[in-house]
Every structure is written in C-alpha cells, then in structure tokens.
Amino acid sequence: MKIIWMSDPHFALDGLVLGHDPRVRLQAAIAHINAHHGDAAMCVISGDMVNRGTEADYKGLAKCLSDLAMPYYPMMGNHDSRELFRQLLPVPDTAMYGFIQYQVKTPEAHVLCLDTHKTGSDAGEFCEARRTWLLDRLRDAGATPTFLFMHHPPMPLGLPTQDTDNMEDGQAFLEMVSTFGCVKYMFVGHVHRAISGTVGGIPFSTMRSVLYQAPPPRPEWNWDTFEPSKEAPSIGVIQIKAGSVTLQFDQFCRYELGVNAS
Ligand SMILES: [Fe+2]
C-alpha cells in the first residue's frame, strides 16, 4: 500500500506566509502527486492545514485539495480550528466525538490519525479522552501493523526554537504506545523539517512542510527569531508491505517557486 504524506501546507486564500505563497506551493504539490503518485491509496496531511484558520481559508483549501486524485485525510495542527475543520473539510465518520481523531482501516494496516491540538496554544496535548480512544484502537489492532500520524512530536528533537512547542505530555504518550507491538511507525508534522530516529523503541520521521522549512540546529546561529531556511519542500512517499515500511522524501518543486511572490 502506498500512502502520500504532506505536512503543514499553512494554506491562506491571500497573501504570503513568511515570504512563501501557500497557494502556489500546494498546487505544485498536488500536480506532482497526481502526475507521479496517482497509484497511492490515500494522502495523509499531518496538520496546520491553514495558517489563520478563517472560514474563507478552509473553503479555499478544500477546493484546492479536491483536485487530488486519491482520497485525502486532513489532520489538526496548532493553526487549525476544530469547528471550521469539521464543517469544511472531509472528516471520516469514524472520528471520535469532540476531536478530529480517527482510524482508517485497510487490508494491510490500520492508520490512526491523532488530534494533538491544544486550544489556544502552539504546543500540543493528548488528553485522557484521546488516550482512551487510542488505547481502545491499539487493543483492537492485535497483530495488525498500525501506523500513527500526529502533528506535535511527543519528544524533543534538538530544534532550539521549536522544542518548546511539542506535545506537553509526550512522555506519558510514548510510555503508552510503546507497550503495543502493533505500532510500527510514527509520522509527525509541526517541525517543518525532515528528521528520523527512534523513541521508546518506535521509529519515527518528521516531514518538510509543503510551504516553508525550519533551519537545521547549528550552534552558531542566532535562535532568538525564527527564520525559514532556503530549502526546497518535499512530500513523503510511504510504502507499506507485510508490516514493513519505507519512506521516500520526494521534492516536488524548487525552493524558489512561490517565494517572495507578489
Ligand atoms: Fe506548521
């Protein structure tokens, strides 16, 4: 099974976001996906669907994403609004009450799209209600390979301006999920940078944003302000077979496309 992974499009109906045009970038990603990955079973978008969270932005985003050649699964990020999200984006019927958290079952795997949003905060959380929902799904999974998608990392990643905005109760989250052998991989958004590793015995990757990228951790840099790096965006191409997974990072346009556009 092939899954396309996009993260952090930060869509806005007008204007730029940190000097980048979110409409140009998202349209380039969709064109690339349709041209080269039309065989994917689904596209998962790991949060920060919009930058401001207005109704007009969500409507514009939904119109753009309707061009995707495969079903897509939108997820909550810190920039998103649950109310507008539920009204204006296609949320599966399996979503739990009160949260944009849901399961996608396929013959090869269970995909769990988690809601780590904390209202009014850039940092994330995973409350008791969401933990209970996840525990039930992990117990039900048995030996079925299960893949977690989430916006906020449940662990620090060594990024000075970003580690303060992770999942606040990340350690408890990791202690819970690491007891389940069915959990094969975590796919994480939020940091606008590609990082891979293992935590609590679980392999994970983060993903570059469709829009702007976070700089690598270099000790000599001034970290008082956040400035995007001049790196091109990419999508993830995930292949799942018999419980094993590969992730390819696929650049869909050059860095200059949509940067400082008028
Ligand atoms: Fe973001």
Whole-angstrom CA distances from 240 to 24, 29, 43, 49, 146 are 30, 22, 14, 25, 10
192 alpha carbon – ligand 1 mean position (Å): 6
17 alpha carbon – ligand 1 mean position (Å): 11
What pLDDT shows up at residue 225? 77
pLDDT confidence tier of residue 107, bands split at 50, 70 and 90: very high
172 alpha carbon – ligand 1 mean position (Å): 23
47 alpha carbon – ligand 1 mean position (Å): 7
CATH class of the structural domain 2-216+227-251: alpha beta
Structure-block tokens of residue 140: 């039900």
60 alpha carbon – ligand 1 mean position (Å): 18
Task: List the chain domain ranges.
Answer: 2-216+227-251
3-state secondary structure (DSSP) of residue 227: coil
What pLDDT shows up at residue 129? 98
237 alpha carbon – ligand 1 mean position (Å): 19
Residue 262 pLDDT greater than 60, yes or no: no
Residue 236 pLDDT greater than 90, yes or no: yes
Q: List 50's β-bridge partners, or say none.
A: 11
117 alpha carbon – ligand 1 mean position (Å): 12
End-to-end, the C-alpha distance of the chain in Å comes to 40
What pLDDT shows up at residue 226? 81
Residue 193 pLDDT greater than 70, yes or no: yes
252 touches 29 (CB < 8 A): yes
Residues whose beta carbons lie less than 5 angstroms from ion ligand 1: 8, 48
| Interatomic CA distance for residues 248 and 13, integer angstroms | 30
What pLDDT shows up at residue 261? 61
193 alpha carbon – ligand 1 mean position (Å): 10
191 alpha carbon – ligand 1 mean position (Å): 7
44 alpha carbon – ligand 1 mean position (Å): 15
Mean pLDDT of the chain: 96
139 alpha carbon – ligand 1 mean position (Å): 31
